[in-house]
């Protein structure tokens, strides 16, 4: 949460400074409106993807608002662009180290060479109970709100192909630790599996997504993937990813044992 608080204070200070800089008249409406947008990033699901269009519509809906836009148009546009860039640069702010239950032992990897540089993230990987388990703590610069932080981030991850890039390490681990498993980590794809979008663990609902791992050009399922989101206020999201080869005798697609162990370790 500290990172989100620091980012918010910096944004408000920068906003005030830019509105005062060489200004003949202080734009109070922009100060109040954009400060409200910064506060809304902590509250509104999907963050800036909803806040920006709502703010633009509200600022143009009244004749007085349209008149102010005509008066301060260039400065408002420039300041809004700078604030968005600053918010995105917050994505480089370091995240905390992943936690895990003692049952999993020591991680076999504490970084993922396939992870993108932005947003900042930390990924630890274990091989436990016949599955590759990854815990990722990642920045969510588009929102500081815990509401829909997991669903929005996972959806964006699918759109941008982030999950497939991170999955390459899990494929490489299974190739090393499971004698009967062999797949080129450069030649696979993730197929969406329809699910309810949430599942109950320890009497609480969590957002989940599921995938099947398939080799390029083939329809045979080689492994299953479950990702469970753990949202936090302040712009840091934790993702638990469990990748299990289809040859495993484990038939619980929601991985109750492993997910419950993780939940107990972070409480």
What pLDDT, on a 0 to 100 scale, did the predictor assign at position 125? 96
123 three-class SS = strand
The correct CATH number of 102-266 out of 3.40.1000, 1.10.3470, 1.10.20, 1.10.10 is 3.40.1000
- pLDDT, one tens digit per residue, over 20-30 is 887 788 998 89
Among candidate residues 140, 136, 133, the one with its CA nearest the CA of residue 156? 140
Q: What is the CA radius of gyration of the chain?
A: 22
What does pTM read for this prediction?
0.91
Asked if residue 139 lies in contact with residue 236, where contact means CB atoms within 8 angstroms, the answer is yes
CB atoms within 10 A of CB 39: 14
E strand spans, the chain: 121-128, 131-139, 188-193, 198-201, 204-215, 221-230, 236-245
The DSSP annotation for 205-232 comes to EEEEEEEEEEETT---EEEEEEEEEE--
Find the helix or strand (DSSP H, E) in which 238 lies. strand 236-245
**Total length of the chain:** 267
Please confirm whether the linkage preceding 119 is cis (ω < 30° from 0): yes
- pLDDT, one tens digit per residue, over 185-210 is 888 999 999 888 899 999 999 999 99
β-bridge mates for residue 139, sequence order: 236
Q: How far is CA 170 from CA 86, 158, 159, in A?
A: 33, 17, 20
Stretch(es) of the chain classified as CATH 3.40.1000: 102-266
Asked if residue 43 lies in contact with residue 143, where contact means CB atoms within 8 angstroms, the answer is no
39 three-class SS = helix
CB atoms within 10 A of CB 127: 19
What pLDDT, on a 0 to 100 scale, did the predictor assign at position 134? 97
pLDDT of the chain, 267 residues: tens digit per residue: 888 999 999 999 999 999 988 778 899 889 999 999 999 999 999 999 999 999 888 888 888 888 888 888 899 999 999 999 999 999 999 999 999 999 999 999 999 988 888 999 999 999 999 999 999 999 999 999 999 999 999 999 888 888 888 999 999 998 898 887 888 888 899 999 988 889 999 999 999 999 999 998 888 999 999 999 999 999 999 999 999 998 777 779 999 999 999 999 998
What pLDDT, on a 0 to 100 scale, did the predictor assign at position 163? 86
DSSP 8-state symbol, 102: G
What pLDDT, on a 0 to 100 scale, did the predictor assign at position 178? 86
Given its phi and psi angles, is residue 67 left (phi above 0), alpha (psi -120 to 50 degrees) or beta? Answer: alpha
């Amino acid at each position: 949460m500290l990172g989100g608080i620091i980012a918010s204070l910096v944004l408000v200070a920068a906003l005030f400074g830019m509105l005062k800089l060489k200004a003949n008249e202080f734009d109070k409406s922009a100060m109040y409106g954009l400060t409200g947008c910064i506060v809304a990033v902590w509250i509104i699901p999907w963050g800036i993807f909803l806040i920006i269009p709502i703010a633009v519509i509200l600022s143009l809906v009244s004749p007085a608002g349209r008149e102010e836009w005509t008066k301060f148009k260039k400065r408002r546009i420039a300041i809004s662009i700078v604030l968005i860039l600053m918010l995105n640069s917050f994505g480089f702010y370091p995240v905390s180290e992943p936690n895990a239950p003692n049952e999993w032992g020591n991680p076999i990897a504490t970084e993922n060479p396939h992870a993108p540089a932005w947003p900042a993230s930390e990924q630890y990987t274990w091989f436990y109970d016949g599955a590759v388990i990854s815990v990722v703590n990642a920045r969510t610069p588009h929102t500081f709100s815990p509401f829909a932080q997991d669903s929005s981030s996972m959806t964006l991850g699918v759109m941008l192909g982030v999950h497939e890039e991170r999955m390459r390490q899990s494929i490489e681990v299974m190739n090393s630790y499971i004698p009967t498993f062999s797949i080129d980590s450069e030649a696979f794809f993730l197929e969406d599996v329809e699910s309810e979008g949430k599942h109950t663990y320890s009497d609480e609902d969590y957002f989940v997504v599921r995938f099947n791992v398939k080799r390029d050009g083939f329809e045979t399922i080689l492994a299953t993937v479950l990702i469970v989101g753990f949202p936090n206020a302040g712009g840091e999201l934790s993702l638990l990813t469990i990748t299990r080869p289809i040859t495993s005798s484990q038939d619980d697609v929601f991985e109750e044992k492993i997910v419950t162990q993780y939940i107990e370790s972070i409480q």
